[in-house]
Amino acid sequence: MEKISYLDFDLLIDRVGKKYKGRVINSPAGQAAVEFDAPFSAGELGVFWSKFEDSRQKKEASPAGCKTTLKKFGGQLFAAVFADQVQSSFSASLNEVSREGAGLRLRLRLTEAPELAALPWEFLHDPATNRFLSLSNQTPIVRYLENLFRR
């Protein structure tokens, strides 16, 4: 199996009042930023988890139905965070690593937005390519933890 080298796409998300700011602080295509609202309300998250659990537990549930639920959730999360400049930077970074024969490691820095750290980022779904990012070895997702115990 061929070893893949990766370039990083570091996405730092901070809370700014009632909104969030996503900043690409390192990527093959440079820096970018976007301000966005919380992608889901507490109620919407509850409904998602209920649907997800129901589809996992019911033997008669169709895998297609579960996949549709996950695509909708992951697409909504993707649309909130990967908008405007961040989307442009992400697309340009994917093009750059493709030319280099590498992968693009998405490193999520969520220390300053712990309520977003609990979201299942592994379900990020890019509707433009119709794929879940984490299912490709070309776009792994890593939850990057800052060194909280600096001296």
State the amino acid at position 110 in one-letter form.
L
Using alpha carbons, list the distances in angstroms from residue 26 to 35, 86, 97, 139: 17, 11, 14, 15
Residues forming a β-bridge with 15: 20
Contact 20, 14 (CB under 8 A): yes
Residue type for 144, please? Answer: Y
pTM reported for the whole predicted model: 0.87
Spatial separation of the C-alpha atoms in residues 14 and 40, rounded to whole Å: 16
Radius of gyration in angstroms for the set of CA atoms belonging to the chain, rounded to a whole number: 16
State pLDDT tens for residues 70-81. 899 999 999 999
Contact assessment for residue 19 and residue 35, using Cβ atoms and an 8 Å cutoff: yes
Q: Alpha helices of 20-146 — where are they, by DSSP H?
A: 42-57, 63-81, 84-100, 114-117
Higher pLDDT, 26 or 49: 26
d(CA 50, CA 62): 15
pLDDT digits (tens, 9 = 90+) for 86-118: 999 999 999 999 999 999 999 999 999 988 988
Structure tokens at 24: 């690409």
User: Per-residue confidence at 57, pLDDT binned at 50, 70, 90?
Assistant: low
Confidence check: pLDDT of 123 > 80: yes
Q: What is the pLDDT of residue 50?
A: 82
pLDDT digits 0-9 by tens, 3-42: 899 999 999 999 999 999 999 999 999 999 999 999 998 8
Question: Which residues on neighbouring strands pair with residue 145, listed in sequence order?
Answer: none
Task: Tell me what pLDDT residue 29 has.
Answer: 97
